[in-house]
């Protein structure tokens, strides 16, 4: 979308990221998604009288891991605070969160805009908190249902600086953040199930002015596309309001994916006074340098570093390296194939980025569910490299592998696809083809070079694709020359 170039948007994102712990942030109840309502609500989750929270150490380690990954300060001492408001899916009447002393502060994430342009987006803070439950309004008459399975699931809320200027930058930031938390193994990144949720703070100002405009917060925009649409809409709406003489009201808005519009949910006037104060049930959390170093030792290679290494170590073009390092599992798959096949890394990359990813996309599976594992893929590529089969035959073998017909060797064996490299055998086929096509031979010899391809095709067909293409080319050229 193009808006008046006299205007500039100022955008900050708040991302709620569910941490991938087995149990809840303050109790031993399971966090698995999709269980029957309230079956994962133990006494602590229900907020029964007398229960107390105990911090899940794994959740803390994951938050620290995130802090290290965005080059932030990890607080030596952080404090949990209670944030009060009444809502039926908030069992205690307060959410345990962090307020004045969050676990992570002052980090950043670099995003790539077009033509290799890099922009640094500041991360103000990331704090730990518990998720709320869910209110269910459908399927009940004259009542609402409450499902507390999600209540108490650990979250980190990642707050960016208002460094983002366009919807496209917002999406680039969000995708980068998403990739990072999945890479770190601290979030499953499932946006549909709400594991990774985004609220967008948007304001506009006349280009050249320093003062921020009044901002609105758009809640729960839960796909990259919706984030883009919601921000675009909100920027356009705000400009329209101001240009037609109105003022922007500080408010919370809700994005409607149906219409692509945002609408007012509540204004600042009815905002809650959250009455934050340090939770007396939880001691301040002390993170020592040793603790941080222990977490650092478990840090995986991060996407950027991995991409750069792939470009260097495997001499891959930037495009290939970027695709292959998009997901940790894919990068691991690629490296396993290169190692096991001993083949040219670029050939491996071609097979994976084009054939494999294309096929997976078609059947709607991700790399971890691929019917062709890394070992199998390496087996196929190895047969190309040792000239057992041609690249063309290999495509058929790959199809058969996808269909579950076995390994490359099994399929080659069963279908008799071994490449013919015996030159006398190839010559015999060539002779037969030439003998059967005297007219074309005549035309070729009188200068119609294009017919060379016709002869190659005939030879390959006659050999049922098994003739070694290099040998066919060489021998055919000699024979046709006469």
Partner 1 sequence: MRAGPGPGVHPGDIAFKYEPMHTLSIKALGEGLKTKKFSSRELTQHYLSRIERHDPALNSYITVTAEQALAQADAADARLAAGEAGPLTGIPLAQKDIFCTAGVRTSCASKMLDNFVAPYNATIVDKLHGADGAGMVMLGKCNMDEFAMGSSNETSWYGPVKNPWDTGRVPGGSSGGSVAAVAAGLAPAATATDTGGSIRQPAALTNLTGIKPTYGRVSRYGMIAFASSLDQAGVVARTAEDAAYVLQAMSGFDPRDSTSVERPVDDLVGGLERPIKGLRIGLPKEYFAEGLADGARERVMAAVEQLRSMGAEIVEISLPNSPLSVPTYYVVAPAEASSNLSRYDGVRYGHRAEGIKTLEELYKRSRGEGFGAEVQRRIMVGTYVLSHGYYDAYYLQAQKVRKLIYDDFRRAFESVDLVLGPTATDVAFELGSKTDDPVAMYLNDIYTIAANLAGIPAMSLSCGFVDGLPVGLQLMGNYFDEARLLNVAHQYQLATDWHQQHPRGFE
Interface residue list for partner 1 (CB under 8 A): 43, 46-55, 82, 84, 86, 88, 91-94, 146, 273, 275-277, 280-283
Query: Which residue number, 131 or 234, has a Cβ lying nearer to partner 1?
Result: 131
Shortest distance in whole angstroms from residue 37 CB to partner 1: 13
Query: Which residue number, 7 or 85, has a Cβ lying nearer to partner 1?
Result: 85
Query: Which residue number, 88 or 317, has a Cβ lying nearer to partner 1?
Result: 88
For the chain, how big is the Rg over CA atoms in Å? 30
| Three-state SS annotation for 269-286 | HHCCCCCCEECCCCCCEE
Shortest distance in whole angstroms from residue 16 CB to partner 1: 22
Query: Are residues 44 and 29 in contact, defined by beta-carbon separation less than 8 angstroms?
Result: yes
Query: Are residues 171 and 228 in contact, defined by beta-carbon separation less than 8 angstroms?
Result: yes
Query: Which residue number, 84 or 205, has a Cβ lying nearer to partner 1?
Result: 84
Shortest distance in whole angstroms from residue 325 CB to partner 1: 41
Residue 188 burial by Cβ neighbours in a 10 Å radius (0-12, 13-18, 19+): middle
Distance CA 71, CA 105 (A): 9
Shortest distance in whole angstroms from residue 30 CB to partner 1: 18
**Longest pairwise C-alpha distance within the chain:** 99
Query: Which residue number, 282 or 336, has a Cβ lying nearer to partner 1?
Result: 282
Shortest distance in whole angstroms from residue 278 CB to partner 1: 9
Dihedrals φ, ψ of 438, to 5°? Answer: -65, -35
Query: Which residue number, 27 or 349, has a Cβ lying nearer to partner 1?
Result: 27
* DSSP conformation letters of 45-106: HHT-TT------HHHHHHHHHHHHHTTPEEPSEE-EEEEE---TT-TTSEEEEE-SS-SEEE
Query: Are residues 85 and 117 in contact, defined by beta-carbon separation less than 8 angstroms?
Result: no
Query: Which residue number, 87 or 319, has a Cβ lying nearer to partner 1?
Result: 87
Shortest distance in whole angstroms from residue 217 CB to partner 1: 18
Shortest distance in whole angstroms from residue 128 CB to partner 1: 14
For 49, residues 6+ apart whose C-beta sits below 8 A from its C-beta are: none
């Amino acid at each position: 979308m193009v808006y008046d170039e006299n205007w500039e948007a100022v955008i900050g994102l708040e991302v709620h990221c569910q941490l991938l712990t087995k149990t809840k942030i303050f109790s031993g109840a399971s966090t698995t998604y999709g269980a029957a309502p309230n079956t994962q609500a133990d006494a602590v989750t229900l907020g029964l009288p007398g229960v107390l929270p105990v911090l899940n150490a794994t959740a803390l380690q994951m938050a620290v891991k995130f802090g290290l990954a965005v080059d932030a300060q990890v607080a030596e001492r952080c404090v949990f605070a209670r944030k009060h408001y009444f809502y039926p899916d908030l069992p205690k009447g307060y959410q345990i969160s962090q307020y004045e002393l969050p676990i992570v502060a002052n980090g950043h994430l670099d995003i790539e805009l077009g033509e290799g342009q890099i922009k640094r987006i500041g991360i103000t803070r990331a704090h730990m908190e518990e998720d709320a439950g869910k209110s269910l309004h459908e399927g009940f008459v004259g009542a609402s249902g409450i499902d507390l399975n999600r209540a108490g699931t650990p979250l980190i809320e990642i707050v960016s600086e208002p460094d983002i200027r366009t919807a496209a930058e917002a999406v680039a930031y969000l995708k980068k953040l998403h990739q990072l938390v999945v890479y770190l193994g601290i979030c499953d990144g499932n946006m549909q199930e709400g594991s990774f949720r985004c609220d967008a703070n948007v304001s506009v100002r006349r280009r050249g002015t320093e003062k921020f405009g009044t901002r609105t917060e758009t809640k729960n925009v839960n796909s990259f596309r919706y984030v883009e649409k919601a921000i675009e809409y909100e920027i356009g709406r705000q400009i329209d309001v101001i240009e037609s003489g109105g003022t922007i009201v500080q408010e919370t808005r809700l994005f409607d994916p149906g219409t692509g519009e945002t609408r007012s949910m509540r204004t600042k006037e009815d905002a809650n006074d959250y009455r934050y104060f340090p939770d007396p049930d939880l001691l301040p959390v002390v993170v020592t340098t040793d603790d941080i170093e222990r977490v650092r030792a478990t840090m995986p290679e991060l996407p950027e570093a991995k991409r750069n290494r792939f470009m260097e170590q495997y001499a891959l073009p930037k495009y290939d390296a970027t695709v292959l390092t998009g997901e940790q599992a894919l990068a691991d798959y690629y490296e396993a194939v290169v190692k096991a096949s001993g083949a040219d890394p670029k050939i491996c990359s071609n097979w994976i980025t084009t054939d494999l990813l294309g096929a997976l996309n078609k059947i709607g599976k991700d790399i971890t569910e691929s019917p062709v594992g890394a070992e199998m893929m390496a087996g196929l590529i190895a047969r190309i490299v040792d000239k057992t089969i041609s690249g063309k035959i290999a495509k058929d073998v790959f199809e058969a592998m996808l269909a579950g017909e076995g390994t490359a060797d099994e399929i080659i064996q069963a279908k008799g696809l071994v490449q013919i490299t015996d030159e006398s055998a190839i010559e015999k086929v060539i002779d037969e083809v030439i003998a059967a096509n005297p007219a074309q031979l005549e035309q070729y010899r009188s200068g119609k070079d294009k017919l060379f391809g016709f002869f190659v095709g005939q030879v390959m067909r006659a050999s049922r694709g098994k003739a070694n293409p290099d040998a066919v080319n060489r021998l055919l050229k000699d024979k046709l020359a006469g």
